[in-house]
Structure formats: structure tokens, C-alpha cells
Amino acid sequence: MPFTSKQLKRFAKKHGISLDTVSPPDFSERRKTLENLLAQQNVPFPVTREHALSYLESSHLPFSLGTLSDKSINLGKYQNHQDYNSLSFEDHLSWACLIANQKETKERYACIEYLRGEDTFPIKSSVIPDYHILNARLYQQTGWQLATVSTIIPSSLFFQCHRHKFFPVTTFMRPLGTDYLEEPDIGHDLAGHIATFTIPQVAEIMKNHGIAHERIFESMKKQLLKAKNEEEIDSIKLDAEELLVYAGRIYWFTVEFGLVMQNDRLTAFGAGILSSPSETPHSIESAEATRILIDPNSDRDLLRLAITDYSINEYQKTYFVLKDFESLTSLTPERIIDVVTEAKHLPHLGWRDILDSDHVISRGTDSMSPDEKYENLANGIPLDEASTRVALRNIGMPEYNPQRLGPAAKLLLNSISSKN
Ligand SMILES: [Fe+2]
């Protein structure tokens, strides 16, 4: 049921918003902004005249996929579009409330690069950004473009987009008054992710994840050509899926839920953290959460991410803290593949587990030693979903053979005390 004007005023007042500012620009205003934007040549990725002309020509149509480069991507049945005129006043007000909620937490807890990045884009006003304009700005500053999708897309397609520097975004705004959503929406995709593209090391690892996914798929296809029976086909597919899950964990603990040390202080850059005004302070200050310092140059630390399971339904139990952004440049596609391949041969960890060899910044009250989950399981004490999944996976694995492992994996195996 639509909100009454009294209710809308109450929402606006609660978030310190004047309803007059929730006024989306009309087409001629948006077109003028776009024209001025596309004419800018003193930007890292200037738009060619040819691309600018055709882009402007189609600006009266709903935005579907960025067309400012020669790259494209086939989104198949997940293809969507943003029809700016069909966004309701409530959509815009919901966005304005989220931006107002995020302002304080971002200013207090986000890293400096993220805050600077936000100022680069038209994402802090009281109305939802027009994707034609946002896409143009994103391309000019970073070389990435938007690809609108209808819902959560398969991870293979998600990373295929990354491979070609497209970022999948939804066109749906969370209902007014909703604080938390499990699925991504405009609030998460734009007000969480867009600023991170201006952190070159983060944008680069997103692309590298895309390349690593592509190579894992190619390798799987080659193996399938040689498969002799259904059993072998299933096993090859399962192996590839497993590698992708582990690569996804590295992505999750950095791009989505990463913290970074800055001037001896914990700051956030992960889009999953910063899009949530309540998880942001939790990630930095809560006594419940564990924070572990990692150096992506270290194979041991990358493996630590790859073998750690997590859940999407609650605040994270463990946050991994980068020592700096520069160290992320070591995360090449080759290293991602090497690490996830090795992760297959190790016992895995739940999101509450802490190892003696971890560089713990703060130990959360929700943490446990790796063995505790097996004890709890044996004694019928309920475990959370991520811990249960890991315990069952480890119990079902054959004995771990240290001879098959590299030095970093052996080191990690030694500090995971037991699977029994
Ligand atoms: Fe995300």
C-alpha cells in the first residue's frame, strides 16, 4: 500500500531530509548534464566523439548496458534496464534516507580513498542517479561500465562481466523503511560499490578475479573434452565449481567485506560493509567480531581467505584487514588460481575460527578455536550454517597429505590443529 504524505514526511524528518530536495531532474536537465560530461576530455578514459554521439542519441531510452567502449557483454535472460521516469518518489526517498544514514558512518569509518572516490560520482544527492550519467562518469574515471541485471546473477556471469570491466547493477531500490536486504539493490550496488572503482588496486583485483574465473572455465572445458564417462564429467565440473567457491571467498573478504589499516587505524573499504550503516560500525568496533591482519603478498594469508567459509545472513564474524592497498597488486589471476587449487587439499575453517598463526588484531567474543566446532557437533550443540558446512566438509575429506602441499599450505595445515 502506498505511503500517505504524512508518513513520507515522517520518514524524511527522521533522516533529516527536506522533501523538496527529493526532486529528480527531468529529461532535458539530465541530457544537458550528459552532454557536458561526455565533452570532457581531460579525464583518464575520454569518450570518443563517435561513442559520445550514439550514446547521447540513445539517452532518451531506458539504460541497459554501457556502450562507451568497444566491449560488450551478453547478459542473456538477466538483462535489465533502468527506466528513470518509472522510479517512484518513494524509491528516490528511500535512496535519500539510505544516503543520509550512510553519511555519518562512512565519514567516520571509511578509508580516505573511498571517501575521495564518492566525491567523484553523482551518488550523494537525494535522488537515485540516472544510469546514463553515472555510467559515463564511471567510464571516464575508471574504464568500467554498468550492466543492468534483473536479479542476483550466477557467479560465472558476474565474473565474466568483471573480466570485461562491466559491473552488474540492479535497478530495484529497497522499499522505504527497510534497513536490511539479503539481495543487492541500488543502495548496495551504487552507494556501496561505485566508489571502490576509484581505488585502482581494488578495481584491478576485481578484473583479475574475472580473468581467473575465465581460465578455470577454459581449463574445465578442455578436461571435459577428454572425459570418458558421466562420472568423470561430474567430477571435473565439481572440481571447477569448488575452485570458484574458494576464489569467491577471496573476493568476499576483500572487495565486499575488507578492512584496511590506515594511519594505524582500522578503516573500511568493502562495499558490503559500507553500504550498511549498521554493519559499518560493527565491523570496526564490535567486541563480537574478530579482526585479522593479512598481507596479500603472503601465500599463507591468501590461502587463509580461500579456506574460510562465511554466511551471508548475518554480520560477519571475522573481518580481514589489509595492511595496505598496495599489497593487493600481488593478487594476479595466476596467484588466485594457484591458491584456490591448493585450498582444495586443506581442511577448511569456519568464520569464527582463529588460528594460533593468525595475526589477530582483536579477538571477537563470537570466535572459537577450530576444534570447538567438532566438539560442539559431537555433543549436539547447534552450530551456525557456515561452521556446520565446514565441519561436515572436513570430516568427509580423505586424510590430508602434507606431501602434496606447498610450503605456505603446510604452514597453514600445521596450525589447524585437527579435523577430529
Ligand atoms: Fe556487492
Residue 62's SS3 state is: coil
Give 29 Cα–ligand 1 centroid separation in angstroms.
30
Give 248 Cα–ligand 1 centroid separation in angstroms.
12
Give 157 Cα–ligand 1 centroid separation in angstroms.
14
Give 271 Cα–ligand 1 centroid separation in angstroms.
6
Give 169 Cα–ligand 1 centroid separation in angstroms.
9
| φ/ψ of residue 390, rounded to 5 | -70, -45
Confidence band of 420 (pLDDT split at 50, 70, 90): very low
Task: Select from 40, 23, 25 the least CA-distant residue to 120.
Answer: 40
Give 395 Cα–ligand 1 centroid separation in angstroms.
31
Give 193 Cα–ligand 1 centroid separation in angstroms.
7
Residue 233's SS3 state is: helix
In this structure, of 93-107, 188-202, 277-291, 375-389, the range with the lowest mean pLDDT score is 375-389
Give 239 Cα–ligand 1 centroid separation in angstroms.
25
Q: What angle do CA 195, 289, 263 make, to 5 degrees?
A: 50
As a whole number, the mean pLDDT across the chain is 93
Instruction: For residue 43, give the C-alpha cell.
Output: 579525464
Give 167 Cα–ligand 1 centroid separation in angstroms.
10
Confidence band of 322 (pLDDT split at 50, 70, 90): very high
Give 140 Cα–ligand 1 centroid separation in angstroms.
22
pLDDT in tens, 41-72: 999 999 999 999 999 999 999 999 999 999 99
Separation in Å, CA 14 to CA 8, 98, 205, 289: 10, 12, 39, 29
Dihedral sign from CA coordinates of 217, 218, 221, 227: negative
Confidence band of 246 (pLDDT split at 50, 70, 90): very high
pLDDT in tens, 270-292: 999 999 999 999 999 999 999 99
Beta strand spans in 151-230 (E)? 166-169
Give 315 Cα–ligand 1 centroid separation in angstroms.
14
Residues 154-163 have a mean pLDDT of 94
Distance CA 418, CA 413 (A): 9
CATH class entry, domain 5-198: mainly alpha
pLDDT in tens, 372-388: 888 888 888 888 888 88
Give 71 Cα–ligand 1 centroid separation in angstroms.
22
Confidence band of 97 (pLDDT split at 50, 70, 90): very high
Amino acid (1-letter code) at residue 400: Y
Q: Look up the pTM and report it.
A: 0.93
Q: Is the pLDDT of residue 320 over 80?
A: yes
What pLDDT is stored for residue 182 in this prediction?
73
Give 184 Cα–ligand 1 centroid separation in angstroms.
7
Give 368 Cα–ligand 1 centroid separation in angstroms.
27
Listed by start position, the domains of the chain span: 5-198, 202-415
What pLDDT is stored for residue 112 in this prediction?
97
Separation in Å, CA 344 to CA 213, 223, 358, 365: 16, 18, 20, 29
Confidence band of 406 (pLDDT split at 50, 70, 90): confident
Confidence band of 1 (pLDDT split at 50, 70, 90): low
Dihedral sign from CA coordinates of 30, 35, 41, 46: positive
| φ/ψ of residue 203, rounded to 5 | -60, -40
What pLDDT is stored for residue 419 in this prediction?
43
Confidence band of 313 (pLDDT split at 50, 70, 90): confident
Give 345 Cα–ligand 1 centroid separation in angstroms.
28
Instruction: For residue 103, give the C-alpha cell.
Output: 553519511
